[in-house]
Amino acid sequence: MNTVKKTASGLRVIPTGERKCIWMDAGVVSYKLCTNQFQCNICEFDHAMSNRAAQSKAEAQENRAVPGYKKEIVQWMEEFKHRPADQRKCRYMLSGDVAHKICPNSFRCGDCTFDQMMQDRLQPGADRDDTFKYISGFHMSDNLYYFRNHMWLRLERNGKYRIGIDDFARRLIGKAGGLKLPPPGRKIEMEEYNMTVNHDYGDLEFFSPLDGTVDSTNYGLLEDSSLLTEKPYADGWLMTVEPKSIAKSNRNFLRGEEARAWMVEEVNLLSTGLGAEAGVTMHDGAAVAKDLCSRLSRDKWRDLVKSRLFVK
């Protein structure tokens, strides 16, 4: 563990290998280390400081004397463009991803086209073959989070979650006839039913895996619903959501060894539910039919999707 050292003058020294938070670098706070590899959009400290800056600015405009008014925060953000270049280094320059880039936008990365381009370049695709493993016959990736209704989530560099259905869900669903997703801007709550997959055996209503606000929906998927089950980890993603709290959301998700153990148990329960009707063997990692629905009666299929995908 790194210990914080002090000089003879009492100033704290940055431990070896650590980096100053941009708010410390700007002189707004006396001491704060970066804990998010300069991914400010997923940093709750940055969110709190930015919100306080906006609040302080509004209070100042109304000439209200409010305790704790952070004039220096507002000044820093408003005078940002006039500061020396060494105080305006882009976070991708600070992290070493680019050799030189000066930030023009007061570190408001969510509004920056360069930041979006770097996210697309640096963020690994959810469908990369080298990230996946077969767990009891189903594809899973250690780079993804999973929720118990068989949705996957990937935390993007902009602090938003991209969401889709996993391999288990797509094999149970089989062929989708269409979808209905909540529109951008809609506030959603965890376990609130707000996504519908149309199906020949009856529509399936899925609930949300987190609290937040819908940022975007996959319009390509709405035009071609077959992508949902043909490319569930790639072009078949459902939507992106800005979470109410990243830390609280992550506590509800499964990842890594915990997710793999959960999948093994889910496959065992599915195998028990299938019995001999589906005509497939699911032991010892045997291949599972891509479309289990086509091998099941309507009632059997409805029972399985309700018990394993928690749909209405």
- CATH class of the 124-312 domain in this structure: mainly beta
Do residues 190 and 209 make contact, with C-beta atoms less than 8 angstroms apart? yes
Among residues 175, 154, 178, the alpha carbon closest in space to that of 164 is found at 154
Look at residue 283 in the predicted model and tell me its pLDDT. Answer: 46
Look at residue 49 in the predicted model and tell me its pLDDT. Answer: 77
Do residues 175 and 200 make contact, with C-beta atoms less than 8 angstroms apart? yes
Looking at the DSSP bridge assignments, the partners of residue 139 are 134
Q: How many Å separate Cα 174 from the centre of its chain?
A: 26
Look at residue 2 in the predicted model and tell me its pLDDT. Answer: 44
What does the angle CA 203 – CA 205 – CA 136 come to, to the nearest 5 degrees?
A: 95
Look at residue 76 in the predicted model and tell me its pLDDT. Answer: 62
CA 67, 73, 78, 82: dihedral to nearest 10 degrees? 140
Cα–Cα distances (Å) from 58 to 21, 28, 160, 192, in that order, read 25, 18, 27, 34
Which residues of the chain fall below pLDDT 70? Answer: 1-12, 16-17, 26, 36-37, 39, 41-42, 53-54, 56-79, 110-111, 119-130, 276-289
Whole-structure pTM value:
0.64
Beta strands in the chain (DSSP E): 5-6, 12-13, 132-135, 138-141, 145-147, 151-155, 161-165, 178-180, 187-188, 193-198, 204-207, 212-217, 239-243
Look at residue 5 in the predicted model and tell me its pLDDT. Answer: 47
| Residue 33 DSSP class | B
| Per-domain residue ranges of the chain | 5-122, 124-312
